Chains A and B, each alone.
Chain A
Amino acid sequence: MSPRRTETGGRIDRLRTIRFTFDGAPYTGHAGDTLASALLANGVTLFGRSFKYHRPRGVLTAGVEEPNALVTVLRGEVREPNIPATMVEIYDGLAAMSQNRFPSLAWDVNAINQLGGKLLSAGFYYKTFMGPVVGPLKGTRFWMFCEHFIRRAAGLGKAGTAPDTARYERMNAFCDVLVVGSGPAGLMAARAAADQGARVILAELEPHFGGSANWSGETIDGMPAADWAARAAGQLEGHDNVRLLPRTTVWGYYDGNTLAAIERVTDHKETPDKGEPRHRYWTIRAKSVVLATGSLERPLVFPGNDRPGVMLAHAAERYANEYGVLPGHRVALFTNNDSAYRAALALKKAGAAVVAIVDARPELSSEMRKLAGETEAEIFSGHAVIATEGGKALSGFKVQRFDMASGALSGDARSIHADCLLMSGGWSPTIHLASQAGAKAEWNEALQAFLPPKPTTRQWIGAGAFTGSFSTAEAIAEGRAAGLSAAGATATPAALPAVGAAPGDPDPAPVFEIKAAGKSFVDFQHDVTADDVRLAHREGFVSVEHLKRYTTLGMATDQGKSSNIPGLAIMAEALGKPIPQVGTTRFRPPFSAVSIGSLAAERFGDLKPERLTPMHDWHVANGATMYSAGLWYRPMIYGHPGETIEQAYVREARATRESAGIVDVSTLGKIAVQGPDAAEFLDRVYTNMFSTLAVGKARYGLMLREDGLAFDDGTTWRLGEQDFLMTTTTANAGKVMQHLEYFLDVIWPELKVHVTSVTDQWAGAAIGGPNARQILAACVSGTAVDNAALPFMGIVHGEIAGVPVMICRLSFSGEMAFEVYSGAGYGTHVWEALIEAGKPFGLVTYGLEALGTLRIEKGHVTGAEIDGRTTGRDLHLDWMLSKKKPFIGSAMMDREGLIAPDRLELVGIVSLDNQPLNGGAHIVEELDEANPHGSLGHITACCYSPALGKYIALALVKGGKARRGTRAYVSDPLRNRFGPVEIVSNHFFDPDGSRMHG
């Protein structure tokens, strides 16, 4: 038997022993234990070291609000820091480590920080990291050097560097009623809503449904509350219209009643089942939400309140009742309210000796006197704890007479021996989600707590302790009413389950702090003391928002769940204002820590979908080196063994010019433009005329943006009187589609035109070269492909290898070339037939590199030149700017700035030192390697030209056209490339187009 495990009781499975390690030491616990309860059962009291001072810390709470007992959980090489030990369910093989200590938890060298209390007070960072402004160290990096060590000494756990191999998933859920929290209020709400036929989701952050019923020791409906809760949850599980989500924290409340939740699916398992995610990120869209999130007990602020062994009263009660663990054998209680007496009694019943009850209130009610009597404790009413004693564990504390009204201490202090001190400073409703939803909290003087406002819509409805109704009987009644209301039903009188509970007044005394010598902690996680809050006030921070940022109170992983109200009360007192005038901060998501993996969800490790052409597998099987172009994958080269990339593309480009080459152009954007007004629409979209285009012909078109800059180019084919096939660049296909849809939907809704993406409908192969026509003639049936039947920009329909194809004679390579389109499902079949037909002619397959080479040689533009900054004129496409009609961008294209003579214009560049050129390299008039300056423009695309036998490039150069025939230099200091170049026309090769016209 573990030293602090009770003989009986608790909801753990005592027949199942779980083995785990903490800081490498082996321990055992039982199924149902948290790491905190199991370690407490083993007699462990020291759980961690504090943030700044490295003070020894124990476990303060039993739930999600835990500020002290943060651990790092190890799974193989993966480490996850800052997990509250109270939220870790133990499993066989669990390995947990304490944090922020060196070399060990028990002997931490940075505990010396405790001696530097004044130095490390509020605003330490702001005062320290400014660096010396006078003296010999001024202007040096000395403080950067110091910062490294200071940062090492302060902090929480360390994140790991090993890749997280766990799986995360996203879920979308819709419901009529989302119930957050499954205490008696939540269970009643879920049942009431479900009985109305509503679709209900019940989310509970703990592993078991029931909330406080699991440890309150009360009875509901004549049975232990925990059994009632289990039965109620079981009944809900049988409803088809109810989804139960245990281990699920609803952490964000967003517009439109969209809530975010994280379900910890396998954190409690040694190994996940196949395919099972570690976490699910739920996006829940709820018509109505019942917030039954309960309340959080507040600590009292007094010197030494952070010593291991000092614990919230309800937490101790929970450890005793739910886990069968005594947090101490000699227990005392310090409280300002009645609720904690129940905890003292629970520990007494579990076997602890209750040595003292210290109550800040001068008088106790007869009911509390009776309860206190049952604990056999010595009662100190009108007293306060003024100090705690012990080292890494509590050994005792001191009490002194206390005047609640003035806060004054009087009389002699008395020492009391105890190994566990329970404290209770009242309760704060867990209003975080309501606050996120926009509700402004209202201060309740009687309860000394911020409460949510009464909701004015059905967006959300509160129930139970969340509303400040702290008794279980109230929770049950409110829960049912909220469930009915959320489901749109009217509450009718009904017999509610009877509750057997200890009596008690829910109103605490307005006591938050006992002022005495020593460090009194307000925010345990960030080591913020009551003196820090007062220091902030003295230094001029009067707003609660500034207080938070200056002292860091309420920050870090617990987000001040236990510290916000005490901190606010101390600030209010310093300001001499009532608490509601000081106000409170608005809670933001997340309510508690959320794994980054769950936010990435299915995109974790798989960032984007792959987009594949119909011939993708053929390319891979035939030696293509693929690379990504946006989401697409395209062949770069079809390299031969031993070839460099340059050798491969030069071979492919040269062979195309000498005989024939074929390239996969399926990625080109293709948009069906259909309808009676299709031609008129295209006239407005393109800079040139399309209504004059004959059926069966194609035309090259240029689009401008509304601001007059070039947008995209491509050919559009007229397949029928009212039926056009527009092609766009691969990169801009989506943008062009949106552009067209916008103009049809918003600007010209009167036009009868439909646009549809048909990019994926068609497989496209471009075959070009002197022998291209012969190859086509060898495999195409049903149509002639000679110059008469298929002139330049003509379109014919035929068959290749039994498959219908559409062939358009157009050229990007500058060769006699054809684009062959077939249904995508036949793409590979047609491609292979073309390859076969091309074998006698030495047809080569070529990739994007050769495609780029051929188009650079021809001076054709792509997205590298249509870069959002260039005009049609900059690219020498003036001839396409119709003067006969308006078009998108025509009103703006003649602006002064767009026709200025010194604009960057498209030119060709030839390397004069026979060395490669680089994209992005600058063109300059004077070479100055030491001080590069005077850029005339930059290179947009470059290659080795097999047709010219030179390294060439396209570039955008100031006044480029006028510079043709002049010398300049390439200046590329990043890649250390400098050298002479000649500026020439962008049409390097076959400028009169004789090859493609045949």
Chain B
Amino acid sequence: MVERQSPLEPVLHPGSHGNFEHGVEIILSETRPGSILQLAAWPGQEKALMAGIRTVTGLALPDGAGGGVTDGVRSVFGFAPGKFTMVDEAEGLASAFADVVTPSIGTVTDLSHGRTAIRIAGPKAEWVLAKFFAIDFALPAFPIGAGRSTMHHDVFAQIQRTGADQFDIYVFRSFARSFWKALCHASEEVGYEVQ
């Protein structure tokens, strides 16, 4: 099996960086999920799609914009009306959905190569992300599991909160290296570890 190449390879330097006066307050990593899918429902078919997601993954999506859920292996969140980003550690999830998301419900688009997943964790995760995005990252406003679509200048990003102080960010692969460097730069003042 050929291993997928990450766009971050030349710039992902494991170890500790930045200012450690108060210890390491950020942990950055690339999660490299096997599958990243976009699942999109036709108007009126949202519930059917959510049911399909539950059938395939066991993940029960909450109602409401930006709702999401994660079990640590698979994650899903809404990023636009009737549209969801579905992530799995394993490859091949697209084929699992092919029979469930029928043309009458919606579409499945495989973006496993097209998006790069970057995880930012630690007590200063909200602080560092606030440098990039005009989004309220406070836990009550952005609960665990929930997702958001946003931009950092030219870089489109989808963000899912996967822990109290942990966020998974999905960016276009071609922008990933640039975004990673910006993320490291922004994390310097609080000290960060790359895993």
Chain A positions within 8 Å of B, measured between CB atoms, are 169-174, 199, 273-277, 283, 285, 602-603, 606, 608-614, 617, 631-632, 672, 674-676, 722, 752, 754, 756-763, 801-803, 823-829
Contact = CB atoms under 8 A, between A and B. Distances in A.
B137 to A, nearest CB: 8
Contacts of A801: 2
A610 B188 contact: no
B145 to A, nearest CB: 20
Contacts of B106: 754
B115 interface: yes
Nearest to A830: B2
B109 A722 contact: no
Contacts of B155: 609
A754 B40 contact: yes
A167 to B, nearest CB: 9
B62 to A, nearest CB: 22
A761 B114 CA distance: 4
Given A602-B182, A762-B113, A273 B172 contact: no
Contact of B154 (A606, A631, A676, A760): A631
Contact of B174 (A612, A676, A825): A612
Contacts of A603: 153
Interface string B4-34: 1111011000000011010000000000000
A285 B130 CA distance: 12
A758 B174 CA distance: 11
Nearest to A799: B2
Contacts of B172: 757, 759-760
B39 to A, nearest CB: 10
Contacts of B10: 617
B148 interface: no
Nearest to A670: B114
B103 A675 contact: yes
Contacts of B6: 825
A759 B172 CA distance: 9
B42 A752 contact: yes
The CB with the most chain B CB atoms within 10 A, among A602, A614, A675, A754, is that of A754
B189 A277 contact: yes
A608 B174 contact: no
A223 to B, nearest CB: 32
The CB with the most chain A CB atoms within 10 A, among B19, B130, B138, B190, is that of B130
Contacts of A199: 138
A609 B179 CA distance: 7
Contact of B114 (A675, A754, A759): A759
The CB with the most chain B CB atoms within 10 A, among A614, A752, A761, is that of A761
Contacts of B113: 760-763, 823-826
B112 interface: yes
A824 B154 contact: no
B155 to A, nearest CB: 6
B5 A675 contact: no
B130 A172 contact: yes
A171 B131 contact: yes
B46 interface: no
Given A172-B134, A273-B21, A275-B187, 7 more contacts: A276-B189, A609-B153, A610-B177, A631-B154, A758-B114, A761-B114, A827-B5
Nearest to A601: B131
A602 B113 CA distance: 28
B111 interface: yes
Nearest to B172: A760
A611 B115 contact: no
B19 A676 contact: no
A608 B188 CA distance: 20
B74 interface: no
B57 interface: no
A828 B178 CA distance: 19
B133 A172 contact: yes
A761 B111 contact: yes
The CB with the most chain A CB atoms within 10 A, among B109, B135, B138, is that of B109
Top 7 closest A-B pairs, CB basis?
A275-B188, A825-B4, A761-B114, A275-B189, A609-B178, A823-B113, A174-B136
Contacts of A827: 5
A728 to B, nearest CB: 15
Contacts of A172: 130-131, 133-135
A174 B189 CA distance: 21
A174 B138 contact: yes
Interface in B102-161: 103, 106-107, 109-115, 130-131, 133-136, 138, 141, 153-155
Contacts of B186: 169, 602
Nearest to B111: A761
Contacts of A829: 2, 5
A602 B186 CA distance: 9
A199 B18 CA distance: 30
Contact of B107 (A170, A171, A283, A674): A674
Contacts of A169: 131, 186
A610 B178 contact: yes
Given A172-B130, A674-B109, A760 B188 contact: no
Contacts of A722: 103
A652 B99 CA distance: 47
A676 B188 CA distance: 49
A608 B4 contact: no
A611 B114 CA distance: 13
Nearest to A803: B2
Nearest to B154: A609
Contacts of A285: 134, 136
B122 to A, nearest CB: 15
The CB with the most chain B CB atoms within 10 A, among A602, A802, A824, is that of A824
A761 B186 CA distance: 28
Contacts of A283: 134
A631 B40 CA distance: 29
Contacts of A674: 107, 109
B96 interface: no
A675 B131 CA distance: 38
18 contacts: A169-B131, A172-B130, A275-B188, A283-B134, A602-B131, A602-B185, A609-B153, A609-B154, A611-B174, A612-B7, A612-B174, A614-B5, A617-B10, A675-B103, A756-B109, A761-B114, A763-B113, A827-B5
A285 B137 CA distance: 13
The CB with the most chain A CB atoms within 10 A, among B1, B179, B185, is that of B185
Nearest to B174: A611
B97 interface: no
A306 to B, nearest CB: 43
The CB with the most chain A CB atoms within 10 A, among B112, B114, B175, B182, is that of B114
A276 B134 CA distance: 21
Contacts of A608: 153-154
A375 B185 CA distance: 58
A802 B2 contact: yes
A327 B85 CA distance: 66
Contacts of A803: 2
A754 B134 CA distance: 27
Nearest to B40: A754
A826 B114 CA distance: 11
A806 B91 CA distance: 19
Nearest to B179: A609
Contacts of A672: 109
Contacts of A676: 103
Given A275-B190, A610-B177, A761-B111, A825 B5 contact: yes
A763 B9 CA distance: 17
A754 B154 contact: no
A295 B103 CA distance: 66
Contacts of B174: 611-613, 632, 759-760
Contacts of B173: 614, 760-761, 824-825
Contacts of A610: 175, 177-178
B115 to A, nearest CB: 7
A834 to B, nearest CB: 14
B130 A173 contact: yes
The CB with the most chain A CB atoms within 10 A, among B4, B19, B106, B174, is that of B174
